[in-house]
Amino acid sequence: MSQAIRANSILPARREDIELHTADGLRLVGELAQPVDRDPVATLVCVHPLPTHGGMMDSHVFRKAAWRLPALAGLAVLRFNTRGTSSTRGTSEGAFDHAVGERFDVAAAIEYAEFASLPRVWLLGWSFGTDLTLKYGCDPAVEGAILLSPPLRFATDEDLATWAGSGKRVTALVPEFDDYLRPDEARQRFAAIPQADVVGVPGAKHLWVGDAEKVLDEIVRRVAPDVPTPLPSTWDGSMESGDASAYADRTVAAFADVPRDQPNL
């Protein structure tokens, strides 16, 4: 019997807790979700929003990606907490380092995907995670990047030039009503990367509340183009339900009162 896929629906996948080990000696906690009955067609390495404002591996878009995309799109989804970040999975060692020491965290995630022989690695950054992706993610093992709500706060012109020179695909999904960088300005800034595709999303806001399905569809169109979209809204088969209280969306709460003229993400 078909069941509606809801916000807390967990579709079948092979899920395992993982640990990443950074070059500067830290242990980071994470999770890898893969399709149950087949090899993944591609891999998403999720780099979460700013931890000082509630960002973590369980931020809602990443959580839904891990709970749905292995079954619906055949993707592997690797999530992890950057240094000093906590979620229900646990707390990664170290302390938040203002996009400096986090270079080792991104490298450790890419290295894990490479040594695990995960196919076609894409970085999926959100907010602060897009800056980490742009600064440290242009690695030979990475096929491309998808950026959700990029603020371009920490990323420099040199970082954009590195991606431009690589020829790797970059897609920026920019909410119409983003608090930090809106579509027209984003197109101007990302013009430095000729191959970048800037997609304005009508009606959306920085946190993608109510728009997660649109985001997942856009991700799948780029990473697994053979998979029909929009993705199904129902599922035939076993399905579990996540504990909403255990996965409280701290990002939404933390950003609720941040004014647009004070970007701090």
Q: What is the pLDDT along the chain (265 residues), one digit of tens a residue?
A: 799 999 999 999 999 999 999 999 999 999 999 999 999 999 999 999 999 999 999 999 999 999 999 999 999 999 999 999 999 999 999 999 999 999 999 999 999 999 999 999 999 999 999 999 999 999 999 999 999 999 999 999 999 999 999 999 999 999 999 999 999 999 999 999 999 999 999 999 999 999 999 999 999 999 999 999 999 999 999 999 998 676 655 555 444 434 443 443 4
Strands 90-91 and 86-87: antiparallel
The answer to whether 32 and 76 are in contact (CB under 8 A) is: yes
- 90: left (phi > 0), else alpha (psi -120 to 50), else beta? left
Strand partners, 241: 9
Which CA distances in Å does 198 have to 40, 146, 195?
Answer: 27, 10, 10
**Residue 148, amino acid:** L
For 100-154, the pLDDT digits (tens) are 999 999 999 999 999 999 999 999 999 999 999 999 999 999 999 999 999 999 9
The CATH number, out of the four listed (3.10.270.10, 3.30.830.10, 3.40.50.1820, 3.30.160.60), of the domain defined by the range 7-255 = 3.40.50.1820
83 contacts 21 by C-beta, under 8 angstroms? no
| AA identity, residue 84 | G
Report which secondary-structure segment, H or E, holds 73. helix 60-73
The answer to whether the CB of 102 falls within 8 A of the CB of 26 is no
C-alpha to C-alpha distance for 203 and 173, rounded to whole angstroms:
12
Predicted TM-score of the model (pTM) = 0.94
State residue 257's pLDDT score: 39
Concatenated DSSP letters of 1-49: -EEE--TTEE---EEEEEEEE-TTS-EEEEEEEE-SSS--SEEEEEE-S
How far is 74 from 77, CA to CA, in rounded Å? 10
Tokens coding 77: 């989804």
What is the pLDDT, as a whole number, of residue 243?
81
Question: Which ranges of 122-262 would DSSP assign to H, the alpha helix?
Answer: 128-136, 157-166, 183-189, 212-223, 250-255
